[in-house]
């Protein structure tokens, strides 16, 4: 079973990807992990990737695709895998499909964990971080027992710039711009499945397993 996960930052896509990987016994593959592993092992592809990252540049599509394809050739991928954070662009999606086609394979599902922007913005704006020890809380889901102070160290809790509504909305705009073409791409292939990501995490997972089958 080969799955691509789509979903906005803050939609809970990573959590679902981990749950799927565990239930179906397939690896959860993210480009970040692949980059780190190749750099750590000093592979040729890893050295190339590092030279871009050291210059503060994005790793080019072609190299990213090579790294992912290389990872997918590993033994643990023979029953499938779940891709998280890749592909991000149409050229990446096309390169992935082309590489799979060479092996006589194709992607089975693209799962979109769909959460309206306003829900994500409101979830994020409830986060609080401790200025002392870095502990994190949420005013609704995980409030500090000491109100606006940290349970651990007693320092003041703040809303980080990263979690402020305007910052979150900007990130979401970039996401939509990048990802909408992918949603169209997989819709045309007939493999896009959207699930309502506003539900409880376990209900989202049930919706996904209903699509994938037990
Ligand atoms: Zn603290």
Q: How confident is the model at residue 62 (pLDDT cuts 50, 70, 90)?
A: confident
Supply the pLDDT for residue 48.
93
The predicted structure's pLDDT at residue 103: 87
Q: In terms of pTM, does the model score above 0.85?
A: no
pLDDT value of residue 26? 96
What is the Å distance from ligand 1's center to 128 Cα? 11
- CA–centroid distance, 202 to ligand 1, in Å, is 30
Asked if 36 is an active-site residue, the reply is no
Q: What does the H/E/C string look like for the chain?
A: CEEEEEECCCCCHHHHHHHHHHHHCCCEEEHHHHHHHHHHCCCHHHHHHHHHHHCCCCCCHHHHHHHHHHHHCCHHHCCCEEEECCCCCHHHHHHHHHHHHHCCCCCCEEEEEECCHHHHHHHHHCEEEECCCCCEEECCCECCCCCCECCCCCCEEECCHHHCHHHHHHHHHHHHHHHHHHHHHHHHHCCEEEEECCCCHHHHHHHHHHHHCC
Tens digit of pLDDT for each residue in 28-50?
Answer: 999 888 999 999 999 999 999 99
In the chain, pLDDT over 70 holds for what percent of residues?
100
Which position among 23, 36, 146, 160 bears the catalytic label? 160
pLDDT at 5: 96
Q: Report whether pLDDT(214) > 80.
A: no
10 compared with 119, residue with greater pLDDT? 119
Q: Which two tokens stand for residue 19?
A: 């749950």
Q: What is the pLDDT of residues 95-113, one digit of tens each?
A: 999 999 998 999 999 999 9
Residue 9 has pLDDT above 90, yes or no: no
Cα(182) to centroid of ligand 1, in Å?
Answer: 41
Q: What is the mean pLDDT of residues 165-194?
A: 94
Contact, 91 vs 63, CB < 8 A? no
Categorize the per-residue pLDDT at 86 as very low, low, confident or very high, splitting at 50, 70 and 90: very high
**Is 13 annotated in the active site?**
yes
Kindly give the distance from the C-alpha atom of residue 148 to the centroid of ligand 1, in angstroms, as a whole number.
11
- Compute the distance from residue 134 Cα to the ligand 1 centre, in Å: 6
Token pair for 88: 């991000």
Residue 106 contacts residue 3 (beta carbons within 8 Å): no
Distance 163 CA to ligand 1 centre (A): 18
pLDDT at 153: 97
* Catalytic option among 50, 88, 164, 193: 88
Mean pLDDT of the chain: 93
User: How many whole angstroms separate alpha carbon 174 and alpha carbon 76?
Assistant: 33
pLDDT, one tens digit per residue, over 101-150 is 998 999 999 999 999 999 999 999 999 999 999 999 999 989 999 999 99
Q: What is the pLDDT of residue 61?
A: 86
Cα gap 140→120, rounded to integer Å:
14
Q: Has 128 been annotated as catalytic?
A: no
Antiparallel, parallel or unpaired: β 81-84 and 136-138: unpaired
């Amino acid at each position: 079973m080969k799955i691509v996960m789509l979903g906005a930052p803050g939609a809970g896509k990573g959590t679902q990807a981990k749950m799927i990987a565990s239930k179906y016994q397939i690896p959860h593959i993210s480009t970040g992990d692949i980059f780190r592993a190749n750099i750590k092992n000093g592979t040729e592809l890893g050295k190339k990737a590092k030279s871009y990252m050291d210059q503060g540049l994005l790793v080019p599509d072609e190299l990213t695709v090579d790294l992912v394809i290389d990872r997918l050739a590993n033994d643990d991928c023979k029953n499938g895998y779940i891709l998280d954070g890749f592909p991000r662009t149409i050229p990446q999606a096309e390169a992935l499909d082309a590489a799979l086609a060479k092996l006589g394979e194709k992607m089975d599902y693209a799962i979109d964990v769909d959460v309206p922007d306003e829900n994500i913005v409101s979830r994020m704006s409830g986060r609080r971080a401790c200025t002392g020890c870095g502990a994190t809380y949420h005013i609704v889901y995980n409030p500090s027992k000491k109100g606006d102070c940290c349970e651990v160290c007693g320092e003041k809790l703040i809303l980080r710039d990263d979690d402020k509504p305007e910052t979150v909305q900007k990130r979401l705009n970039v996401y939509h711009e990048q990802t909408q073409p992918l949603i169209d791409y997989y819709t045309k292939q007939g493999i896009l499945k959207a699930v309502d990501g506003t539900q409880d995490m376990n209900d989202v997972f049930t919706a996904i397993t209903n699509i994938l089958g037990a």
